Amino acid sequence: MSFRVPVIPILLSWLVLHLAGAARADDFPLAPAEEVHARGGLPNFFAKAAHPEGDKEIKVAYLGGSITAQPGWRVKSLAHLRSLFPAAKFSEINAAIGGTGSDLGVFRVKQDVLDQHPDLLFVEFAVNDGGAAPEQIFRCVEGIVRQTWKANPKCDICFVYTVTEALVGPMLEGKYPRAASAMEKVAEHYGISSIHMGMEVAKLAKEGKLVWKAPLPKTDAEKASLGDKFVFSGDGTHPYPETGHELYLQAIVRALEPIRAASSKPAPHELAAPLMADNYERARLVPIGEAQLSSGFVKLDPAKDPMAKSFSRLKDLHRASQPGETIRFKFKGTRAALYDLVGPDCGQVIITLDDKPPKTVARFDSYCTYHRLATLVIGSELPDTEHTVRIEIHPDQPDKAKILAERNNTIDKPERYNGTAIYPGAILLLGELVR
């Protein structure tokens, strides 16, 4: 059995969902690029940090993608907060999953963040939402805000934006990229502080002093060969903790002063009227065990099963492998998806939604030399009525050798790839399960 915590490969499904949005949104107005917008500040957080209550922890949550998952700005910013407020006791809620955007974040924010009762929530999705339509970003990011303040009105929120070589273009012209521009509209509507951690990165790039991707220099000779240039990352996206993430940290350090100055008297946040009437405030993650599972499904125990231990975010991870095993459920709402794993031993499923013709979808793709988190959209933009879903394991395996060849991967050990398994963990609903 082979598996990894996902970092990039989930981008395959992300690209399918987002490229159409990119084509439709080329004329979206871009916001002027500034490093910090203090707005309403972080009044509750600063009040708690400056006057801690005994041993009560101040919980800082980080919801984002692989740039946040790295041991970089997340780890460094928490250390900086500890240095600013040495009397306070801080703890971290690490809710970063590589290769995922706000369209998954809005469904998992309750389980991964809010159930732990954070005092401060950083939201980082500007890179992984880079191909999403602005309207979809509005719905998802606003859903995160509204769920947070509905569950915990005293939790402060700060949007943080990162940058990549592919997305930096507008910043060289003094504008935010499209995803950050869309998130700024949500931030402005709710008075949420925001920090663009990539402003200095863009400045150095424009001055010709940034090397976007190169090995990190180690020897004196390698460092001397760079002259006054600065190596940002090894891939143009994920900064080195020693270099690019240091630039991100310094942006936060600079931004905290004006944000603190803007922070007024601590008070619960009041929810304004929605920016988007169809925002994803209703998004929820339902454990797969609440659906009707056929007898061949087995719940995996993290104490005994290494797969369940590795993918602990799927708290109700199940496995079934025999053709004909089924998942059935009904829901009232407008969208449903399966939150699962894909990997070498996975097969394909037959999905039947209401009275529509069944469709066959593989739970295997060209990255599946190991297991990783994935989502499978069952239906979206549906009438807000009751719907019936049936998911059945298909008797035939997909052509795994052909699929792997798309990325020049091969079947190394046939026994690893022989199977029609599925690994469901949850249902992502925009609505409610009908019991």
* Residues recorded for the chain: 435
Condensed to tens digits (0 to 9), the pLDDT of residues 100-148 reads: 999 999 999 999 999 999 999 999 999 999 999 999 999 999 999 999 9
DSSP 111: H
At 301-315, the pLDDT tens digits run 999 999 999 999 999
The string of pLDDT tens digits covering residues 349-407 is 999 999 999 999 999 999 999 999 999 999 999 999 999 999 999 999 999 999 999 99
Are the beta carbons of 311 and 373 closer than 8 angstroms?
yes
Say what the pTM is: 0.91
Q: Give the position of tokens 């025999």.
A: 322
Residue 329 has pLDDT above 70, yes or no: yes
Dihedral sign, Cα of residue 129, residue 367, residue 307, residue 352: positive
**Tokens 């095993």 identify what position?**
325
Helix axes 178-190, 134-151, angle to 10 degrees: 40
Amino acid at 263: S
- Mean pLDDT across the stretch 196-219? 97
Phi, psi dihedrals of residue 404, rounded to the nearest 5°: -65, -35
CA distance readout (Å), 88 to 43, 84, 267: 16, 9, 20
pLDDT score recorded for residue 26:
66
Residue 408 has pLDDT above 60, yes or no: yes
pLDDT of 267 reads: 97
pLDDT tens sequence across 51-81? 999 889 999 999 999 999 999 999 999 999 9
Residue 112 and residue 100: Cα distance in Å, rounded?
Answer: 14
